[in-house]
Amino acid sequence: MSWSGDLYLTERAVILSIGYELLQGRVINTNATYISRKLSLLGYEVKAIISVGDNYNDIGKALDFAINALGARIVITTGGLGPTHDDITADAIAKYFRKKLVLNKEAYEMIRSKYESAGMEMTESRVKMALLPEGSKPIPNSVGTAPGIHLRLELVELFALPGVPKEMEAMFEQYVEPILRARTGIQISEGYLEVMGVPESGIAPLIKAIAKKYPIYLKSHPQLHEIESPLVKVYIMATDKERSKARSLCLEACRDLENKLRTLKEAKIIRSCECS
């Protein structure tokens, strides 16, 4: 993988996936894939995806590593916001940032109205979902019951979302994404190129040269057997504040690489450059 130091990305982000079910392999972490893709297209540099169990100490260490070691200014957590005893994410976040865990009236009303409409009362476990770190805002949950958490501090902005994929995706698209999009103003253009007949090791020098020449992100992905049936897919991403400039840069770099690949006798381009 080659990153150009001139690639225009605004801020670093870390995704923190919380839940023992992830560590035990009982659940596939599709949430992290979804969020990392979204963040990348919004112009953020995802520094790490961290998975930890429902443990205060581990969550605290992960937050500390994300913010202080990796320099993340955006942290998005998933999981641990429900009504059960092991749903400790809100409390763990509060403890790490030295905030009180308080009953958020807005979150309470969000939860109460959902249960009331279903003819159900507010129990202690349901009230628990309205306990948020002091100073945070609840993120509306249009699909489920547990609200998310939006905590804005001096150096970091944190979004805590439920672990249920449908809930998380809806909350991200409806609440988180508009905030992050306005924060960056970055435009992304990406494209693909596929070449057959040359192994990844054979085109590596050409990719390296293009990565040095242009301020882009470039990554090759072998699709078939490296020696017997070489097929390589090359991904290119360019960024700029103006979409037209990002697309022009993506196309220029992609076509340059394609022309260089055509000089290789064994190479056959089966997918030419297209940048969205």
Over the stretch 130-155, which tens digit does the pLDDT of each residue have? 999 999 999 999 999 999 999 999 99
Residue 194: CA count within 13 A, CB half-sphere: 8
- The CA distance from 136 to 12, in Å, is 21
Q: What is the pLDDT of residue 8?
A: 56
Q: What is the pLDDT of residue 4?
A: 38
Q: To the nearest whole number, what is the mean pLDDT of the chain?
A: 93
Q: What is the band of 5 on the pLDDT scale with cuts at 50, 70, 90? A: very low
Q: What is the band of 241 on the pLDDT scale with cuts at 50, 70, 90? A: confident
Q: What is the band of 9 on the pLDDT scale with cuts at 50, 70, 90? A: low
Q: What is the band of 276 on the pLDDT scale with cuts at 50, 70, 90? A: confident
- Whether 187-275 and 2-184 are alike in CATH topology: the answer is no
How do the domains of the chain map onto residue ranges?
2-184, 187-275
The residues facing 102 across adjacent strands are 132
What is the separation, in whole angstroms, between the first and last Cα of the chain?
A: 21
Q: Which amino acid is at 186?
A: I
For the chain, count helices (H), then strands (E).
10, 13
CATH topology of domain 2-184: Molybdenum Cofactor Biosythetic Enzyme; Chain A (3.40.980)
Q: Is the per-residue pLDDT at 1 higher than 60?
A: no
The encoded tokens of residue 182 equal: 């306005």
Over the stretch 53-112, which tens digit does the pLDDT of each residue have? 999 999 999 999 999 999 999 999 999 999 999 999 999 999 999 999 999 999 999 999
Of 109, 112, 92, nearest to 101 by C-alpha is: 92
Q: What is the pLDDT of residue 274?
A: 85
Place domain 187-275 in its CATH homologous superfamily: TT1725-like (3.30.70.1120)
